[in-house]
Structure 1
Amino acid sequence: MTSYYGRAVRGDPKKPYSDTNEMSTAIWASYLHAISTDEEPRHHFCPASADSWCFFRRADFNPDEPRRKHSQKPGYFSKIPKKNRIHITKVYTDLTSRDLLSKCLKGRTQNANESLHSKVWQKVAKHKFAGKCRVNYTLQMVTLEHNIGFHDSYFLGHLGFGMSPSKSSNLVILDKECDRSFRRSSTGTTGQQKRKRKEGKDESAYGAGVF
């Protein structure tokens, strides 16, 4: 289910979602598809086309294609007891909130706080004990570096010790590298993804007959 949710959030790179409603529909389609049965099919959110990833809707456009039973398809979760399915449905309701999905448009599923956290763990390793004072000091320094840059937050410089030309140059370089990294991540695509898209080699999030 986690894999299906992730695919639905990322969608098709060739046809990005225009709003959260489309993304929400895709997420619910994957869940309802997975819990459908022959007696109770729930494919109303699945794409309706001859090349749909949903075997049930695809059969509507291909009369010659035999419609398989749900139990014969992979990703079959209808055996989950209904009392447990209620809890899963509640989780999906939370995961399809408009506030959450709006942050995932254009494939931006990365947690924005992870960048700050990684800088903290570089200075205070998770697997080693550190006292409260050291952790607080590190958090304050990393927050300054994260928000105003390495050069302007240089601690010894603010204490009046000055800064050598080489040190100043190195800190400026670090700030520029951070800026470039942020711009690359904010585009939502990497150079490799752009090349694949240009060549038309992007793989669809779903494949016909595989789900």
Structure 2
Amino acid sequence: VAGALTLCRRSEAKLNVRYTKYLGDGDSKGFTHVVANNPYGDDVLLEKLECVGHIQKRLGTRLRRLKRDKKGIKLKDGKGLGGQGRLTDVEIDHLQRFYGMAIRNNLEDVEKMKRAIWATFYHKLSTDAKPQHELCPPGIESWCKYRQAQANNKLDDFKHTNSLPESIMEEIKPIYKDLSAPALLKRCLHGKTQNPNESINSVIWNRLPKTTFVGIQTLKLGVCDAVLSFNEGAMAKVNVLERLCIQPGRFMVEGLQQIDSNRVKKADKEVQEENKKKRIKRRIGKKSKNEEDDYCPGGF
């Protein structure tokens, strides 16, 4: 909290800039603290931006909380909220991912963003008896299988297989209303996340574990090394040593080059679409396994 205010207070003197936008998660106390202390005076108002990743996770968090709070309570169809074919953690993951895609694919317009969010809601509510895909994008390139079938004139062969019961969708509808509010979506138009911040944090903690006490000089050295490696790679250490009139050895240089090469290969692998799908599938598989005990007869 104090760090955010310090950065703002020294930004003009050190960098000749003013930070006018604050990107943080929904429960960030830093923004409130900075605004309360008004570091730039009354003529500069800070704007709060939401981390798209945190907003996406907020849907999952609220759905899981609802599921926990409603455990053992029967809905109007006589069944509970959770259980096989109902609001499982796997389904929550799907809903959360669709919600995030609706935001990221419509960064130019709040209304389009809101429409896309509700398209995912009614998509899951749709059944063969009552399809509700009016908000889903039309055409053979649509993510909606119903719309694809419609464009290919194959609706007679189409079957809804992944719908959620109406009783469940009614329960989660208030959450969708809250998380599709224009005021909230407006703060997501930038499309940015806090992932770079989280990434640099992990590099720092790798050198300076939070569970281990270190002195101030060790702390400064560790942070500087982490920032240097994060921004320019491991080979940047060679430049530092040379400026200190220390000639690095051949094995050191080769080792640092290998570290940078492995880092790039790992990053390239992680961004490949196929690998993304595999990671999502593994995560969903783990959650499915954890929920097997919930599928017992009479459990809901």
Higher helix share goes to which structure? 2
Q: TM-score, normalised by structure 1?
A: 0.53
Which residue of structure 2 aligns with residue 177 of structure 1? 262
Alignment of 1:80-91 (within 5 A): 87-90=178-181
Q: Partners in 2 of 1:173 and 1:62 — Cα distance?
A: 54
**Shift, 1:162, TM fit:** 1.8
Deviation at 1:176, TM superposition (A): 1.9
Between 1 and 2, higher relative CO (CA 8 Å, sep ≥ 6) is seen in 1
Query: Is the contact between residue 117 and residue 180 of structure 2 (CA under 8 Å) also seen in structure 1?
Result: no
Report the equivalent of 1:145: 229
Deviation per CA, 1:133-159, whole angstroms, max 9, x where unpaired?
433322211111122221232444432
Give CA-to-partner distance per residue, 1:15-56, whole Å, 9 cap, x none: xx8754698343333357789xxxxxx97534679x9579xx
Deviations 1:29-87 (A, max 9, x none): 3357789xxxxxx97534679x9579xxx9xx979x9xxxx99437x2534796x8764
Taking structure 2 as the reference length, the TM-score comes to 0.40
Q: Contact (CA 8 Å) 1:33, 1:43: kept in 2 or not? A: yes
SS at match of 1:78: helix
- The alignment of Structure 1 onto Structure 2 pairs a total of residues equal to 170
Structure 2 alignment gaps of length 5 or more? 1-58, 61-92, 126-131, 282-300
The answer for unaligned runs of 5 or more in structure 1 is 12-16, 36-41, 104-108, 197-201, 203-211
- Supply the distance in 2 between the matched residues of 1:179 and 1:26 (Cα, whole angstroms): 35
Which residue of 192, 202, 206 corresponds with 1:122? 206
Equivalent residue for 1:94?
185
Q: RMSD value over aligned CA atoms? A: 5.0
1:99 partner SS: coil
For residues 1-211 of structure 1, the aligned pairs below 5 Å read: 1-2=59-60, 3=93, 4-10=95-101, 20=107, 24=113, 25-31=115-121, 45-46=135-136, 72-73=165-166, 76-79=168-171, 87-90=178-181, 93-94=184-185, 97-100=188-191, 103=192, 111-154=195-238, 155-185=240-270, 188-192=271-275
One-letter code of the match for 2:190?
D
Aligned-partner SS, 2:237 = coil
Q: In structure 1, how many angstroms separate the alpha carbons of the residues matched to 2:273 and 2:138?
A: 31
Asked whether the 8 Å contact 2:235–2:260 carries over to 1, the reply is: yes
- Identical amino acids, percent of aligned pairs: 18
Aligned residue number for residue 207 of structure 1: none
AA aligned opposite 2:197: N
Check 1:193–1:145 CA distance in 2 against 1; reply closer, same or farther (3 A cut): closer
Structure 2 letter corresponding to 1:146: F
